[in-house]
């Protein structure tokens, strides 16, 4: 099997998904994973992958609902014969490294495949919980379909491949910090137990998220950059512990061109997301950072 399972970028919706708000996800083809058999047993990366997949297989086998959906017997046999995932998806960077694993395992070993995305979301969430303790199931959908989509509590809408206006440029900014999603999500869940935080988050923050998604998908560039700048400022307020200190100036400063930076996924490290309308000026602004344009 030569299918590549691409990485993904959650453009908008991190944390707000916990409130069943919507999210916007795009595939990222520059990073991907594919099945291989390690015939030599000498490749350390493939050996590591094989060991981790064996642990994942055991988890699937022990969960009754997952064992019903996934052919764990065939999976275990292939692993015993050296099956591994060759992947260049960075781990701990918010690009869906675990999502590619879930997508690949489902694609290869699902006993009966479904084209109901909400059904898949539930199954993928249970599968990916092996890695994060809890999961929305959204990342594996992007890795499995290779399509951009917008998701709400009761609907997943696949978007055109080129839905983003050509004058809106997006980049990944490397924090050089590998992150651990689980404690960040637990921190946020603890914060929302505070009534004042919860009220402010729902009434002030969530509308910015929705506005960013609406204006981006509608192609309204002027309104989009107003919204994403508002969101960036709001993340300073609501997610300060998730923003590395060295990135605070990028969130705080204003520019003579349209530019905004925001968290990618849970934050705390990995990549940050940058949005701009002028790549040359943005490249100069970010000359001291490692940047990938997507």
Shared domain for 117 and 210, answered yes or no, is no
pLDDT band at residue 1 under the 50/70/90 scheme: very low
What confidence tens digit (pLDDT) does each residue in 75-108 have? 999 999 999 999 999 987 889 899 999 999 999 9
In-domain check, residue 255: yes
Q: Which of 158, 192, 210 is the last residue of a domain?
A: 158
Residue ending a domain, among 110, 125, 158, is 158
- The residue assigned the tokens 């959650």 is 10
Segment (H or E) for 286? none
CATH of the domain at 200: 3.30.70.890
Q: What average pLDDT does range 265-282 have in this prediction?
A: 91
What total number of domains does the chain contain? 2
Cβ neighbours of 284 (radius 10 Å): 9
Specify the CATH number for the domain of residue 63. 3.30.230.10
Of 106, 126, 158, the domain-final residue: 158
Nearest-10 crossing angle of helices 44-62, 72-80: 160
Query: Do both 147 and 27 map to the same domain?
Result: yes
Flag whether 163 is in a domain.
no
Does residue 170 have a pLDDT over 80?
yes
Please write the tens of the pLDDT for every residue from 139-169.
999 999 999 999 987 889 999 999 999 999 9
pLDDT confidence of residue 265: 80
- Do residues 236 and 278 share a domain? yes
What is the domain range of residue 15? 5-158
Residue 164 resides in a domain: no
Mark whether 77 and 142 lie in a shared domain.
yes
The rounded distance, in Å, linking the Cα atoms of 123 and 115 is 12
In order, the DSSP letters of 7-39 are EEEEEE-TTGGGGT--EEEEEEEEEEEEEEE-S
pLDDT on residue 199: 93
Of 263, 190, 229, give the one whose Cα is nearest residue 23.
263
Q: How far apart (Å, rounded) are the C-alpha atoms in residues 254 and 239?
A: 19
User: What pTM was computed for the model?
Assistant: 0.89
């Amino acid at each position: 099997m030569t299918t590549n399972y691409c990485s993904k970028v959650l453009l908008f919706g991190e944390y707000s998904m916990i409130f069943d708000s919507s999210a916007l996800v795009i595939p990222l083809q520059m990073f991907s994973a594919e099945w291989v058999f390690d015939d030599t047993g000498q490749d350390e990366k493939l050996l590591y992958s094989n060991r981790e997949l064996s642990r994942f297989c055991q988890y699937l086998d022990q969960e009754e609902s997952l064992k019903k959906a996934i052919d764990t017997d065939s999976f275990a046999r292939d692993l015993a014969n050296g099956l591994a995932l060759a992947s260049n998806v960075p781990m701990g960077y918010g690009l869906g490294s675990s999502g590619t694993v879930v997508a690949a395992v489902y694609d290869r070993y699902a006993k009966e495949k479904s084209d109901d995305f909400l059904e898949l979301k539930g199954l993928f969430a249970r599968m990916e919980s092996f890695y994060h303790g809890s999961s929305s199931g959204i990342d594996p959908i992007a890795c499995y379909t290779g399509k951009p989509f917008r998701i709400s509590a009761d609907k997943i809408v696949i978007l055109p491949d080129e839905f983003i206006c050509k004058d809106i440029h997006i980049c990944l900014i490397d924090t050089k910090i590998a992150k651990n999603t689980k404690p960040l999500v637990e921190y946020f869940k603890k914060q929302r137990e505070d009534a004042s935080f919860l009220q402010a988050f729902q009434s002030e923050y969530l509308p910015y998220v929705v506005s960013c998604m609406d204006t981006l998908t509608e192609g309204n560039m002027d309104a989009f950059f107003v919204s994403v700048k508002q969101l960036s400022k709001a993340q300073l307020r609501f997610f300060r512990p998730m923003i590395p200190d060295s990135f605070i100036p990028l969130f705080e400063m204003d520019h003579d061109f349209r530019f905004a930076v925001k968290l990618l996924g849970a934050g705390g490290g990995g990549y940050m997301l940058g949005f701009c309308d002028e790549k040359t000026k943005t490249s100069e602004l970010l000359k001291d950072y490692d940047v990938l344009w997507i």
